[in-house]
Structure 1
Amino acid sequence: MSRLIDSLPTPAHVREKLVIVTSRSRSGTFSLYQALQILGYKPYHMYEVVQTNTHMAIFEEALRCKYFGAGKPYGRAEFDKWFADYDTLIEIPAFFAEDIIAAYPDAKYIHVDRDVDKWLVSVLNIWHTVRPLLNSTAMKFMALYDPFIKLFISLHVTILRCLDHGMHNEDPNMAIVLKEDYLQLTDQVKKLVPRENLACFSLEDEFGWEQICPWLGKPIPATKYPRGNAPKEFQQLTMRLLGPSFAKAAGLVIGAVSIPVGAGLWYWLRLK
């Protein structure tokens, strides 16, 4: 089966992968994304994914190949194409931990744990709102008018399928499966990454510059470690990026539909 990644040209230059963060979303990853930018790295985070149709399509293809047998799973060659312009990876490695660790064994790894029950509450609070919105008739109707929105929705539906194993929000076993997966990822990372290449932190300990800078060999910046309202800041970034597409699609939808859709999108992005 042909893959999108195979149609892309081999990059002339691939940046060395210096830092890889294996933590799942809702574990301080957005603050780390901002912190590593301050330190001079070029990180690839979910925000980078939604910059273009191509990156969203590649991420979804990689997920489908790994989790649903849609094609040959990605390895070093595919990752080098996908991440060529970046020296740091955040959030995405949580979905491909074993494969990325094998592809980039010499990188420095950071894994941030969070109290698994608190993490679960944070994730489920979002899912109970996001899932119905992604599957709503209004959102699907808007996707007919803008390929970017169509890809955005399709990618997030696939991400949810990977994480929840196809379960419904009401399934009583979902919480158990999510917690098991979260803990298994931590165990997997600690097993596969050499101890000298791995730094583990706890979100509850409010780790910051004093912990990550010595590990990375970087001087501590004068600015404070980013600890803002990550969902709100990510919402603002995402709205600046996706706003034109939403406005374009909403402008083609009759007023009776566009008003609730716009309100729903605002609320969803507020939770991200």
Structure 2
Amino acid sequence: MGLYQAMQILGFKTYHFYECIVNHGLPHMEVLQEAVIAQCNDLSGIKKYTKADYEKWLGEYECLVEVPSHVGTDILEAYADDPDVKFILTERDPDKWVTSVNNTAGALIDMPYMFPFVILKYFDATLYRFLVLNETVYRAMSKCTKPGDADNAQALRKQYTDYIKKAKEIIPADRLCLIKLEDGLGWENICPFLELPIPTQAYPDRNEPERFQKLVQGFLQPKINAAIMRLSAVALPVVGAAGWAAMKYGPSAIAALTKGR
């Protein structure tokens, strides 16, 4: 989330996965899931998104962070010919990227099937959609493997390296800022490229797993509480046990799942 926050500091209205789920909620989560499925599953029957679709969905934003990697390189192709659009491509060691993904989205992959979420997800539409969206995005990146599967790391690594390779081929060199994260990422990398002065504010911290854990906890807990209340309205005989279990295990389950593996 560091680059997302950095672009906001620079004054850009920026769209990120956080913006999608926290600030826009259910409608945008549904659109993102549809876009991911359309790009990754030719048998889905969903038409792949075009530039017009992206404009309808994201037209109010000036900057996209992370989302292009979820929906595939077609979105890069849609804007590659626009001379006013610049691209910042961050590249890192593929094995470190795999670890990061499995410590964030991958850490939640089993949550929909664990108690109490296997029940509570049906009592809050946003909670359900978040869990489904996270699973959809992760499976698209991992070729339907899960953390711990023998071919999981290999599938994720290939998906990542293929994306980076194709992105470099699509984006015009004169509008591409390529940053290797191992060499550092800060204002000195992006501000000259964007022709903007370097802010006095420090560049945001890049502790992705920790930020992701806080995001998930802050976002999910109210949804879990709402689901418990709805469950209690239709299942009074078991609400005592269900409510106690959800309150007792909900926060700890989220924390355990988002600590990484």
TM-score tier after normalising by the smaller chain length: 0.7 to 0.9
Q: Secondary structure at the match of 1:112?
A: strand
Structure number having the greater helix percentage: 2
What is the correspondence of 1:255-266 to structure 2 with a 5 Å cutoff? 255-266=244-255
Question: Structure 1 residues 128 and 227, CA, compared in 2 at 3 Å: closer, same or farther?
Answer: closer
In the aligned structure 1, how far is the partner of 2:169 from the partner of 2:206?
32
Alignment counterpart, residue 16 of structure 2, candidates 22, 36, 45: 45
Offset at residue 217 of structure 1 (A): 0.8
Q: Is residue 105 of structure 2 the alignment partner of residue 132 of structure 1?
A: no
Structure 2 runs not aligned, ≥5 long: 233-241
Q: Is the 8 A contact 1:112 1:202 kept in 2?
A: yes
Q: Is residue 27 of structure 2 the alignment partner of residue 54 of structure 1?
A: yes
Q: Is residue 61 of structure 2 the alignment partner of residue 72 of structure 1?
A: no
Which one is further off, 201-210 or 212-221? 201-210
1:89 aligns to what?
64
Question: Structure 1 residues 65 and 112, CA, compared in 2 at 3 Å: closer, same or farther?
Answer: same
Query: What is the identity percentage for the equivalent residue pairs of Structure 1 and Structure 2?
Result: 32
Q: Is the 8 A contact 1:112 1:200 kept in 2?
A: yes
What is the correspondence of 1:1-272 to structure 2 with a 5 Å cutoff? 30-51=1-22, 52-68=25-41, 69-70=43-44, 71-105=46-80, 106=82, 107-126=85-104, 129-227=107-205, 229-251=207-229, 252=232, 253-269=242-258
TM-score (norm 2): 0.85
Q: Is the 8 A contact 1:250 1:262 kept in 2?
A: no
Which residue identity lines up with residue 32 of structure 1 in the other structure? L
Q: Is the 8 A contact 1:50 1:152 kept in 2?
A: yes
Q: Is the 8 A contact 1:56 1:151 kept in 2?
A: yes
Offset at residue 110 of structure 1 (A): 0.6
* Root mean square deviation of aligned Cα: 2.0
Offset at residue 237 of structure 1 (A): 4.3
Which residue identity lines up with residue 254 of structure 2 in the other structure? L
Q: Is the 8 A contact 1:142 1:250 kept in 2?
A: yes
2:238 aligns to what?
none
TM-score (norm 1): 0.82
Which residue identity lines up with residue 161 of structure 1 in the other structure? R
Which residue identity lines up with residue 134 of structure 1 in the other structure? P
